[in-house]
Structure 1
Amino acid sequence: MRAVVCKELGPVENLVFEPNWPDPVPGKGEVVVDVKSGSVNFPDVLMIQGKYQFSAEPPFVPGSELAGVISAVGEGVTGYAVGERVIARSGTGAFGEKAKAKVSQLTKIPEGVDFDTAATFMVTYGTTHHALIDRAQLKPGETLLVLGAAGGVGMAAVELGKLLGAKVIAAASTDEKLAVCREHGADATINYSTEDLRKKLAELTDGKGPDVIYDPVGGSFAEPAFRSIAWRGRYLVIGFANGEIPKLPLNLALLKGASIVGVFYGSFAQREPVEGQKVIDELMDWVRTGKIKPLVSARYKLEDTVQALQDMSSRKVTGKIVIVP
């Protein structure tokens, strides 16, 4: 099969396009999926660099989330058959023509849901569902600030925040990105390249501050955002797309009665599989009924995977992008 291969941990530029990589073979309890769409996620970059919480031993085909059609089943597989359309949260393999996945990593794609949509909503919307509903317990009428709002998880937070009845303030680095956020439900926006984040937050919340802060970026905007948080506010630590892990003064949490809340969806789904399945079921219903729909802003050929990863890493991407083998 054709595949993009990580032969040694390091920068994404070291990835190698292989036109004749061996096809995966399903083991017990596994299937092979012909990949129709592979989602590009920030953790993929970290895994290629050897910096993610979960590691893979080179050589491996990166790409943690995909949608496609089952082409082979291994011993003991029940509930899934050749020819079925599925999402696979496989951890690796999405950036190739075929990928292997455990049955526990599969979800059937409902009728009417296309492969690009299916491939791009589990990680971003799963993370956000877990963050806003379970970890933050966001309530209707509360104010949600989303940093990095035009990215994959950021856009998911804008959509789910509105679905849950919150007032959503989207913060991003360009007016073009903020326009897209407004199209997808943001009530107000902040361009933190040209506006003072704290001053604008005070203006938009009548000095109260946001009840929940959703931060997948980290870096220099974390502290000013946290300094603006409302009494009993919840600051959600989603990730560090900026590359810098911020250090927050803990006295701020004391003064505001605020909580700093970690969000690690992958570990949650592993440790609490019953609750994790409930998240998947609800999200799948929302996708099927059109309550949520990921924005897929670009599709890349398999040969252009490095460019896709670079574009996402440099925050040139709005919403989600996919690799189409």
Structure 2
Amino acid sequence: MRALIHRQFGSPAHELHVEEVPDPVAGPGEVVVRMTASAIHNHDLLTVSGDYGFTPSLPARAGTEATGVVESLGEGVTNLAVGQRVAGGAFGAWSEKFVARAAGLVPVPDVLDDDTAAQLVSMPASALALLNAIGASEGEWIAQNAAGGTVGRLVAQFAQSRGVNVVGLVRRRDGIAELADAGIGRIAATNEDGWRERVAEITGGAAIVHGVDSVGGPATGDMLSILADGAHLTLFGGMGSWQFEGSMNDIIFRGITIDGFWGSKVLPALTPDERTALFGEVIAKAVSGDITLAVEQRFALADIAAAVESHDRRGRTGKVLLTP
């Protein structure tokens, strides 16, 4: 079968190539899935470049989330059946077939197409788990940057269904109109003068007690500047920089606390009941349309360089998918 492989760390567009590899075999508790679509996430590309929290042994495969059809079952697997549509995480998903833990896959209802199913788990589950970890109550205000990204859109949509208020920050004014087209409002563009005043206008002067920073660099300081005294800031990602800049005054004198969130640690730590509840809510809201998972473009595995270019394009509003 064919799979994307990289033999050294570096630019994904340059280092990833399709190679012929042996067909996978499911071990105990595992299944082989024939991939039909797989999403490109930021962390996938960072892993290939060697800049993520997980460093695979080389030569390495790539990709972490896909949807497909169960082709074979390993010993002891009783929760899935051959021919069943599934979605979920599995390292090496950018291949015609991949092996995954049966317990880590989610059955996909027929009403959901592959475009949605291919990105059903990683970003929606992380967004909902992040919202749960923040613990915002109905009526409270959250501020988040990278509001136009997949997680930013999902946090806003999940929060809306729970009665939690979200003000989003984008880095350009065009992002406001793009989000409005997706039904997401309450957005301020930080490249405009007076954006902090615009945030206060959106919230009606209410205290912003939770913040989510997915950008890093000076954007962290911008986020701290609009949070209330005693607020809580969660670092989610580093789309702009893996270093963050802020004032010690905000921590020492204003009592703002900072922590980090990494879905790769949080999601596996969920109890079976918590996992069932979380993915049940994700699927229900995807079916109802309360959350939307847009697709920008689709590329074959062999066109990975063009796919990476599309993923990195400024102003992208949906996921880039790979197909066999």
Q: Calculate the TM-score normalised by the size of structure 1.
A: 0.91
Deviations 1:85-127 (A, max 9, x none): 001211x222211111111221111230111101113111111
Q: Which amino acid aligns with 2:96?
A: E
Structure 1 CA distance, aligned partners of 2:266 and 2:59? 27
Deviations 1:167-214 (A, max 9, x none): 332222333332221233333221222344433323333444533222
Structure 1 segments of 4+ aligned residues over 6 angstroms from their partners = none
Deviations 1:281-302 (A, max 9, x none): 2212222333222122222222
Match of 1:215 in 2: 213
Structure 2 CA distance, aligned partners of 1:52 and 1:16? 16
Structure 2 CA distance, aligned partners of 1:148 and 1:324? 27
Point out the more displaced range, 100-109 or 314-323. 314-323
Q: 1:222 to 1:117 in 2, by over 3 A?
A: same
Match of 2:321 in 1: 322
3-state SS, counterpart of residue 47 of structure 1: helix
Deviations 1:240-282 (A, max 9, x none): 1113320433431344343323211221122233333432222
Q: Which amino acid aligns with 1:67?
A: T
Deviations 1:132-175 (A, max 9, x none): 12x21122222222211111211112211222223332222333
Q: 1:19 offset after TM fit, Å? A: 5.1
1:93-132 maps to which residues of 2 (within 5 A)?
93-132=92-131
Q: 2:254 aligns with which of 253, 256, 260?
A: 256
Match of 2:286 in 1: 287
Q: 1:253 to 1:314 in 2, by over 3 A?
A: farther
Aligned length: 323
3-state SS, counterpart of residue 43 of structure 1: helix
Q: Which amino acid aligns with 2:85?
A: R
Structure 2 CA distance, aligned partners of 1:80 and 1:177? 41
Residues 219 and 243, structure 1, Cα contact 8 Å, conserved in 2: yes
Residues 35 and 67, structure 1, Cα contact 8 Å, conserved in 2: yes
1:121-270 maps to which residues of 2 (within 5 A)?
121-133=120-132, 135-270=133-268
Residues 34 and 71, structure 1, Cα contact 8 Å, conserved in 2: yes
Match of 1:32 in 2: 32
Structure 2 CA distance, aligned partners of 1:43 and 1:273? 24
Q: 1:204 to 1:285 in 2, by over 3 A?
A: closer
Deviations 1:198-237 (A, max 9, x none): 3332333344453322221112211021121023422121
Structure 2 CA distance, aligned partners of 1:286 and 1:309? 29
Structure 2 CA distance, aligned partners of 1:121 and 1:242? 25
Structure 1 CA distance, aligned partners of 2:304 and 2:117? 19
Residues 167 and 187, structure 1, Cα contact 8 Å, conserved in 2: no
Residues 38 and 94, structure 2, Cα contact 8 Å, conserved in 1: yes
Q: 1:69 offset after TM fit, Å? A: 0.3
Structure 2 CA distance, aligned partners of 1:255 and 1:164? 32
3-state SS, counterpart of residue 48 of structure 1: helix
Q: 1:214 to 1:23 in 2, by over 3 A?
A: same
3-state SS, counterpart of residue 284 of structure 2: helix
Q: 1:201 to 1:254 in 2, by over 3 A?
A: farther
Residues 213 and 223, structure 2, Cα contact 8 Å, conserved in 1: no
Q: 1:55 offset after TM fit, Å? A: 2.4
Q: 1:40 offset after TM fit, Å? A: 1.0
Match of 2:75 in 1: 75
Q: 1:306 to 1:277 in 2, by over 3 A?
A: farther
Residues 219 and 245, structure 2, Cα contact 8 Å, conserved in 1: no
Structure 1 CA distance, aligned partners of 2:304 and 2:143? 32
Q: Which amino acid aligns with 1:24?
A: P
Point out the more displaced range, 16-25 or 30-39. 16-25
Q: 1:140 to 1:52 in 2, by over 3 A?
A: same
3-state SS, counterpart of residue 256 of structure 1: coil
3-state SS, counterpart of residue 118 of structure 2: helix
Structure 2 CA distance, aligned partners of 1:52 and 1:117? 25
Structure 2 CA distance, aligned partners of 1:232 and 1:297? 39
Structure 1 CA distance, aligned partners of 2:267 and 2:242? 26
Q: Tell me, which stretches of 5 or more residues in structure 2 are unaligned?
A: none
Percent identity reads 27
3-state SS, counterpart of residue 212 of structure 1: strand
Q: 1:245 to 1:121 in 2, by over 3 A?
A: farther
Structure 2 CA distance, aligned partners of 1:70 and 1:10? 32
Q: Which amino acid aligns with 1:224?
A: D
Q: Which amino acid aligns with 1:21?
A: V
3-state SS, counterpart of residue 120 of structure 1: coil
3-state SS, counterpart of residue 45 of structure 1: helix
